[in-house]
Amino acid sequence: MSEPEREDEPPSEEELAERRVRANRATRGALAAILCLEAFVVLLIPRTIAQTSEGLSATKTWVLVGLAVLLVVTGFLLKRRWGIGLGSVLQVVLAFTIALVPIIAVVVVIFLGLWIYLLRLRTQLVGTPTDWRMLVS
């Protein structure tokens, strides 16, 4: 016979710590997926720009391809303690590219919203600080 289930007992500290570790891994994985998906979408933008009346310049192409590469590399670096901070900085850098490529505003708004949502969810699940320290924990 198996042990009776412990429904009334609160989880032990060890169980809570294990849940936090799993939640940390899961949210970092979701953040990495967001960065990689964002890189893919950013790589689709030059094709859209090329069909407009202003056309596609070499500068715009290199900026977008460079950002896409940085987004993918940062996705792999999210395992590091400072990876979330780097990803957040890239979100801000991508927001500044709206001045160069205005059509990217739609992409920035969608992915920045997802990024902030996942950071807030991570704070609730893992118990990370709610101020700037959440970016290096």
One-letter amino acid for residue 44 of the chain: L
- Residues 60, 14: Cα–Cα separation, whole Å: 51
Q: What is the torsion angle, in degrees rounded to the nearest 10, for the CA atoms of residue 13, residue 18, residue 21 and residue 27?
A: -110
What would the pLDDT profile of 74-97 be if each residue is shown by its tens digit? 999 999 989 999 999 999 999 998
One-letter amino acid for residue 103 of the chain: I
- The pTM is what? 0.83
What would the pLDDT profile of 5-22 be if each residue is shown by its tens digit? 556 788 888 888 898 889
What would the pLDDT profile of 30-45 be if each residue is shown by its tens digit? 999 999 999 999 999 8
